[in-house]
């Protein structure tokens, strides 16, 4: 009898105790909750070169600026979104998120095998605003988008921030969406959302494009002209006007839903890499502790000499009456 009681007691202990080496939840827990204050950058190579890369870090571990930065800082206010700065104001290097590399580092886009730069078309100096992307959105190429009727350009949504802060590459800001331009580029949907840094002095006063015009007269038309007619490549804008905040917020939600399909394996990804370190329920998940080794990333920043920018981009460009882009300063 004593032996039977002892056996039952041992069995009870075994059932009540967790298995050795196992946590209560066997699933790998993401390393850190997203916090903009804990972000840093890991940069390798020289600026203005095709080998240059910049990774976003959270608590010193690499994350994807596209898939790990949440769309909304606060789910209760969807007029405010996170914004990844790729191109600071007044700069001309065409910097983007690399969609076909693990964790989507920031890189210098290329054209004809060389780093790509934006012309300064009079009276604008390169990009007259901060330019970048809205995380956890995807302009899907697999469907015709509701407003434009065209498929998406495969990228996250673009946003330009009209705030006063010049910004820096890799910066993550919280911006209020004010409206946007529905651009169709090469028969692809390519929204350009207008936003303003929530810490900008003007932010509490503006909630629409019309509000911006009230406090900064002339700027909204100037930005429109930059996209529509002053870029080196003429770009058609659906409706020939800014779309309002409500419609743009709906479009952002639609692109967020497309992104969900992408990372859940419900959409054709093409060459897009959607590895991420924040959602352990998805097959694309990798622990942030293992990401550097798994994706063969550099362990720390290693800066090199910047590349030379072609001299023609130091001068002004102009449009002729026929629409030809001219750079008289560089002509013989």
Q: What is the pTM of this model?
A: 0.89
Residue 260 has a CB neighbour count (10 Å cut-off) of 13
111 class by beta-carbon count within 10 Å (0-12 exposed, 13-18 middle, 19+ buried) = exposed
Whose tokens are 């659906």? That residue is 238
Which pLDDT belongs to residue 253? 98
Which residues of the chain fall below pLDDT 50? Answer: 1-26, 231-232, 332
Which pLDDT belongs to residue 27? 52
Which pLDDT belongs to residue 236? 80
Residues 6+ apart with CB under 8 A from 286: 275, 276, 277, 294, 295
Structural domains present in the chain: 26-303 (3.90.80.10)
- Contact yes or no for 251/257 (Cβ under 8 A): no
Q: How far apart are the first and last CA of the chain?
A: 108
Quote the CA–CA distance of 309 and 115 in Å, as a whole number.
8
Quote the CA–CA distance of 254 and 262 in Å, as a whole number.
13
Quote the CA–CA distance of 308 and 169 in Å, as a whole number.
19
Query: pLDDT above 90 covers what percent of the chain?
Result: 79
Question: For residue 264, what is the DSSP state?
Answer: T
Which pLDDT belongs to residue 244? 98
Closest C-alpha to 224, from 241, 209, 207: 241
296-323: pLDDT as tens digits = 999 999 999 999 999 999 999 988 877 7
Cα 224 versus chain centre, distance: 21
Q: Helix (H, G, I), strand (E, B), or coil: what is residue 101? A: coil
């Amino acid at each position: 009898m004593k032996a039977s009681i002892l056996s039952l007691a041992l069995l009870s202990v075994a059932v009540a105790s967790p298995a050795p080496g196992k946590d209560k939840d066997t699933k790998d827990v993401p390393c850190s909750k997203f916090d903009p204050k804990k972000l840093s950058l890991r940069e390798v190579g020289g600026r203005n070169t095709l080998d240059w890369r910049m990774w976003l870090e959270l608590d010193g571990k690499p994350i994807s600026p596209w898939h790990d930065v949440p769309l909304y800082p606060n789910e209760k206010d969807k007029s405010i979104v996170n914004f990844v700065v790729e191109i600071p104001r007044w700069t001309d290097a065409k910097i983007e998120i690399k969609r076909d590399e693990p964790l989507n580092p920031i890189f210098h886009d290329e054209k004809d095998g060389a780093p790509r730069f934006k012309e300064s078309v009079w009276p604008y100096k390169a990009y007259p605003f901060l330019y970048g992307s809205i995380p956890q959105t995807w302009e899907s190429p697999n469907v015709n988008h509701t407003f434009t009727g065209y498929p998406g350009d495969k990228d996250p949504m673009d946003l330009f921030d009209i705030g006063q802060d010049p910004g820096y590459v890799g910066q993550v800001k919280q911006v209020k969406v004010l409206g946007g331009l529905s651009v169709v580029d090469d028969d692809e949907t390519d929204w350009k959302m207008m936003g303003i840094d929530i810490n900008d002095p003007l932010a509490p006063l503006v909630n629409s494009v019309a509000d911006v015009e009230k406090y900064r007269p002339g700027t909204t038309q100037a930005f429109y002209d930059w996209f529509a007619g002053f870029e080196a490549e003429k770009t058609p804008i659906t409706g020939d006007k800014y779309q309002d905040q409500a419609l743009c917020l709906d479009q952002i939600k639609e692109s967020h839903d497309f992104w969900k399909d992408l990372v859940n394996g419900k959409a054709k990804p093409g060459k897009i890499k959607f590895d991420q370190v924040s959602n352990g329920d998805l097959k694309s998940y990798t622990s942030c502790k293992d990401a550097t080794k798994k994706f063969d990333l550099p362990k720390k920043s290693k800066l090199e000499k910047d590349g030379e920018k072609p001299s023609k981009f130091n001068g002004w460009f102009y449009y002729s009456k026929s629409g030809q882009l001219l750079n008289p300063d560089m002509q013989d």
